[in-house]
Amino acid sequence: MLSSVSASEIAMLLAALLAGGVLTGLIAGMLGVGGGGVIVPVLYEVFGALGVDESVRMQLCVGTSLAIIIPTAFTSHRAHMAKGAVLPGVVRTWRLPAIAGIITGSAIAAVVEGWVLQAAFVAIISLLGTKSLIGRNDIMIADHLPGATTMRIYGFFLGLASSLVGISGGGIATNILLLYGVPIHAAVATSAGIGIIIPIPGVIGYAVAGWPHISELPLLSVGYVSVIGFLCIAPVAAVVAPFGARFAHRLSRRQLEVGFGSFLLLIAARFLYAIIHG
């Protein structure tokens, strides 16, 4: 495959991914996120511009996104552990069901068409975006966490949803915990704990699932994971993110919530358009 790729094609791929890294870093820094909600749409446009076939484009975006968020998830988890805010019992309860959900999601990705993953992305991102626009954390189901069985179901759903749309699951996990009265700082810290579990097996699953389609994928792809995408976007986004963060400090929390929610709904609309118009 490498011999059939011209120098100009390699240069175009690198330039597009570096630009995607800049955009990802700016948005992630400004909106306080670093997961698939930002990375997947950036990759989708980059790989589309590079002519990646629609049948494998979304799978490649999700697998690469999971790889990119591993360093962020690990750093975040360590920081929260140092603060002592993580609820270790929740993480232990969610661990195995989440991995089972990840394996299930990766298996689904291996056999379904790209529009199915796009639909899952639209549904989940729309819910998170709407929640951010509403801006309320006081909506509760109960003032204590549910029993082990219900928690394991939540864990499976976290793994399944995350592996289908290329996110670490932190945003979903945080909102689940808030529904049961967990304080916001503990909810965010514990979500970081589950966020470090989900991406690694997800990357392995997507690499394996995409191997039969390697001839349809861009240069240096390991299954549905673009190595060049990871190497270009992850470090560039990390360098650029502080510039977005500086701008964010000029805005109020509510302005950021509205900005984040609007952004998520905008990209959900973009993927919905892609589904409808094929």
* Model confidence pLDDT, tens digit, residues 76-110: 667 667 767 678 889 899 999 999 998 898 888 87
Domain residues for 177?
Answer: 2-277
Name the residue with tokens 């909106």.
Answer: 31
C-alpha of 192 from chain center: 13
pTM to 2 decimals?
A: 0.77
Cβ pair 158, 190 in contact under 8 A = no
Length of the chain: 278
pLDDT tens digits, 230-261:
888 888 887 887 777 677 667 776 777 787 77
- CA 197 to chain centroid, in Å, comes to 13
Collapse the DSSP code of 222 into the 3-class scheme (helix H, G, I; strand E, B; otherwise coil) and give the result.
strand
User: What confidence tens digit (pLDDT) does each residue in 3-46 have?
Assistant: 455 677 677 777 877 887 887 777 766 655 556 677 888 888 88
Domain count, the chain: 1
